[in-house]
Amino acid sequence: MAESIKILTGNFDVPGIEQLDVYRKNGGYAGLEKALKQMSPDEIVEEVKKSGVRGRGGAGFPMGMKWGFLAKPEGVPRYLVCNGDESEPGTFKDHYLMMKSPHLLIEGMIISSFALGANTSFIYVRGELMYVINILEKAIAEAKAAGLLGKNILGTGYDLELVVQPGGGAYICGEETALLESLEGKRGNPRNKPPFPAVKGLYQCPTVVNNVESISTTPWIVLNGGEEYAKVGIGRSTGTKLISASGHVKNPGVYEIELGLPVEEFIYSDQYLGGIRDGHGLKAVVAGGSSVPILPKDLILKTAAGEPRLMSYESLSDGGFASGTMLGSGGFIAMDETTCIVRNTWNFSRFYRHESCGQCSPCREGTGWMEKVLYRIEHGKGNERDIDLLVDVAKKIEGNTICPLGDAAAWPVASAIRHFRDEFEWHVKNPEAATKKGAVYQPELSLA
Amino acid sequence: MTETIALTPERLEKAKEIIARYPEGKQKSALLPILHLAQEQHGWVSPETMDFVADLLSIQPVEVYEVATFYTMFHLEPVGKHVIEYCRTGPCCTMGGEEVYAHLKDKLGIEAGETTQDGLFTVKEVECLAACGWGPCFQIREKYYMHLTNDKVDEIIEELSK
Residue type, A101: S
pLDDT at B3 over 80: no
> Which residues on chain B are in Cβ contact (under 8 Å) with A355?
127
Note whether A312 and A195 are same-domain residues.
Answer: no
Q: How far apart, in whole angstroms, are the C-alpha atoms of residue B27 and residue B24?
A: 7
Which DSSP letter does residue A236 get?
T
Note whether A155 and A259 are same-domain residues.
Answer: no
Q: Are A189 and A177 in contact (CB under 8 A)?
A: no
Which DSSP letter does residue B115 get?
B
How far away is chain A from the Cα of B55, in angstroms, using its nearest Cα?
15
**A:B CB pairs within 8 Å:** 148
Give the relative orientation of helices B47-57 and B61-68 as an angle to the nearest 10 degrees: 120
Residue type, A99: M
Note whether A349 and A299 are same-domain residues.
Answer: no
Give the relative orientation of helices B61-68 and B31-42 as an angle to the nearest 10 degrees: 70
> Which residues on chain A are in Cβ contact (under 8 Å) with B133?
92, 244-246, 252-254
- Cβ contact B127–A355 (<8 Å): yes
- Cβ contact A128–B129 (<8 Å): yes
Q: How far apart, in whole angstroms, are the C-alpha atoms of residue B66 and residue B83?
A: 23
Predicted ipTM of the assembly: 0.97
- Residue A10 inside a domain? The answer is no
Q: How far apart, in whole angstroms, are the C-alpha atoms of residue A392 and residue A413?
A: 11
Among residues A197, A230, A263, which one ends one of the domains? A230
Q: How far apart, in whole angstroms, are the C-alpha atoms of residue A75 and residue A303?
A: 52
Residue A90: count of CB within 10 angstroms of its CB:
32
> Which residues on chain B are in Cβ contact (under 8 Å) with A168?
32, 35-36, 67, 70-74
DSSP element (H, E) containing A307:
none
Fold adopted by B82-161: Glutaredoxin (3.40.30)
What per-residue confidence (pLDDT) applies to A442? Answer: 86
Q: How far apart, in whole angstroms, are the C-alpha atoms of residue A311 and residue A292?
A: 14
Looking only at the bridges linking them, the beta strands covering A294-296 and A282-286 are: antiparallel
Which contacts of B58-67 are long-range, i.e. CB under 8 A and separated by 24 or more positions? B58/B27, B59/A185, B59/B27, B59/B28, B59/B31, B63/A185, B63/A186, B63/B28, B63/B31, B64/B31, B64/B35, B66/A186, B66/A187, B67/A168, B67/A185, B67/A186, B67/A187, B67/B31, B67/B32, B67/B35
pLDDT at B88 over 80: yes
More confidently predicted of A3 and B41: B41
At A60, is the secondary structure helix, strand, or coil?
A: coil
* Average pLDDT of chain A, as a whole number: 96
How far away is chain B from the Cα of A183, in angstroms, using its nearest Cα?
6
Q: How far apart, in whole angstroms, are the C-alpha atoms of residue A136 and residue A101?
A: 9
Note whether A266 and A184 are same-domain residues.
Answer: no
Looking only at the bridges linking them, the beta strands covering A233-234 and A237-238 are: antiparallel
What per-residue confidence (pLDDT) applies to A412? Answer: 98
Once rounded to an integer, what is the mean pLDDT over residues A265-290? 97
Q: pLDDT category, A437, cuts 50, 70, 90? A: confident
Among residues A301, A336, A371, which one ends one of the domains? A336
Q: How far apart, in whole angstroms, are the C-alpha atoms of residue B72 and residue B85?
A: 11
pLDDT at A315 over 50: yes
How far away is chain B from the Cα of A74, in angstroms, using its nearest Cα?
18
pLDDT at A444 over 90: no
pLDDT at A446 over 50: no
pLDDT at A391 over 70: yes
Give the relative orientation of helices B9-19 and B47-57 as an angle to the nearest 10 degrees: 50
The domain total for chain A is 3
Question: Mind listing the pLDDT tens digit for each residue in A278-290?
Answer: 999 999 999 999 9
Once rounded to an integer, what is the mean pLDDT over residues A228-256? 98
SS percent in chain A: helix, strand, coil, step 5: 45, 15, 40
Among residues A336, A371, A404, which one ends one of the domains? A336
Q: Are A17 and A139 in contact (CB under 8 A)?
A: no
Note whether A268 and A393 are same-domain residues.
Answer: no
Which chain A residue's Cα is nearest to B63? A186
Note whether A359 and A215 are same-domain residues.
Answer: no
- Residue A441 inside a domain? The answer is no
- Cβ contact A246–B135 (<8 Å): yes
Q: How far apart, in whole angstroms, are the C-alpha atoms of residue A246 and residue A344?
A: 14
DSSP element (H, E) containing B112:
none
Q: pLDDT category, A3, cuts 50, 70, 90? A: low
- Cβ contact A254–B31 (<8 Å): no
- Cβ contact A333–B26 (<8 Å): no
- Residue A52 inside a domain? The answer is yes
- For chain B, the domains span 9-70, 82-161
> Which residues on chain A are in Cβ contact (under 8 Å) with B142?
130-131, 134
At A44, is the secondary structure helix, strand, or coil?
A: helix
Q: pLDDT category, A221, cuts 50, 70, 90? A: very high
Q: How far apart, in whole angstroms, are the C-alpha atoms of residue B27 and residue A286?
A: 41
Does the N-terminal peptide bond of residue A195 adopt cis geometry, omega within 30 degrees of 0? yes
- Cβ contact A168–B93 (<8 Å): no
Known binding residues of B: 87, 92, 128, 132
| B-interface mutation test, from A92, A119, A367, most B Cβ less than 10 A away | A92
How far away is chain B from the Cα of A429, in angstroms, using its nearest Cα?
25
Fold adopted by B9-70: Arc Repressor Mutant, subunit A (1.10.10)
Known binding residues of B for [2Fe-2S] cluster: 87, 92, 128, 132
Note whether A53 and A159 are same-domain residues.
Answer: yes
pLDDT at B148 over 80: yes
Note whether A136 and A264 are same-domain residues.
Answer: no
- CATH number of the domain encompassing residue A355: 1.20.1440.230
Which DSSP letter does residue B8 get?
P
How far away is chain A from the Cα of B109, in angstroms, using its nearest Cα?
22
Question: What is the reported pTM?
Answer: 0.97
pLDDT at B5 over 90: no
Paired with A311 in beta bridges are A261
Note whether A165 and A63 are same-domain residues.
Answer: yes
How far away is chain A from the Cα of B154, in angstroms, using its nearest Cα?
23
Once rounded to an integer, what is the mean pLDDT over residues B110-130? 98
- Residue from B41, B117, B105, B109 nearest B80 by CA: B117
Which of B36, B128, B134 is facing A351, going by the closest CB pair? B128
- How large a percentage of chain A has pLDDT more than 90? 97
DSSP element (H, E) containing B47:
helix B47-57
Once rounded to an integer, what is the mean pLDDT over residues B145-161? 98
Q: How far apart, in whole angstroms, are the C-alpha atoms of residue A445 and residue A162?
A: 60
Q: How far apart, in whole angstroms, are the C-alpha atoms of residue A80 and residue B140?
A: 32
> Which residues on chain A are in Cβ contact (under 8 Å) with B89?
89, 290, 347-348, 351
Q: Please classify residue A310 by burial: count the beta carbons closer than 10 Å to its beta carbon, then call 0-12 exposed, 13-18 middle and 19+ buried.
A: buried
- CATH number of the domain encompassing residue A206: 3.40.50.11540
Which of B63, B91, B130 is facing A126, going by the closest CB pair? B130
Which chain A residue's Cα is nearest to B85? A128
Burial A397-429 (b: 16+ CB within 10 A, else e): bbeebbbbbbbbbbbbbbbbbbbbeebbbbbbe
What per-residue confidence (pLDDT) applies to B4? Answer: 59
Note whether A148 and A65 are same-domain residues.
Answer: yes
Domain holding A422, by residue range, is: 341-434
Q: How far apart, in whole angstroms, are the C-alpha atoms of residue B110 and residue B104?
A: 9
Question: Mind listing the pLDDT tens digit for each residue in A59-102?
Answer: 999 999 999 999 999 999 999 999 999 999 999 999 999 999 99
Residue type, A138: K
DSSP element (H, E) containing A126:
none
| A-interface mutation test, from B69, B92, B94, B140, most A Cβ less than 10 A away | B94
- Residue A3 inside a domain? The answer is no
Which of B22, B57, B132 is facing A90, going by the closest CB pair? B132
Note whether A143 and A52 are same-domain residues.
Answer: yes
- Residue A9 inside a domain? The answer is no
- Cβ contact A92–B30 (<8 Å): no
Question: Mind listing the pLDDT tens digit for each residue in A325-369?
Answer: 999 999 999 999 999 999 999 999 999 999 999 999 999 999 999
- Cβ contact A354–B93 (<8 Å): no
> At CB < 8 Å, which residues of chain B contact A?
21-23, 26, 28-33, 35-36, 57, 59, 63, 66-67, 70-74, 88-91, 93-95, 126-135, 139, 141-144
Question: Mind listing the pLDDT tens digit for each residue in B48-85?
Answer: 999 999 999 999 999 999 999 999 999 999 999 999 99
Q: How far apart, in whole angstroms, are the C-alpha atoms of residue A186 and residue A77?
A: 21
Q: How far apart, in whole angstroms, are the C-alpha atoms of residue A45 and residue A18?
A: 27
- Beta carbons within 8 Å of B49's beta carbon, 6+ residues apart: B5, B38, B42
- How large a percentage of chain A has pLDDT more than 70? 98
> Which residues on chain B are in Cβ contact (under 8 Å) with A134?
142
| CA dihedral (A64, A70, A72, A77) positive or negative | negative
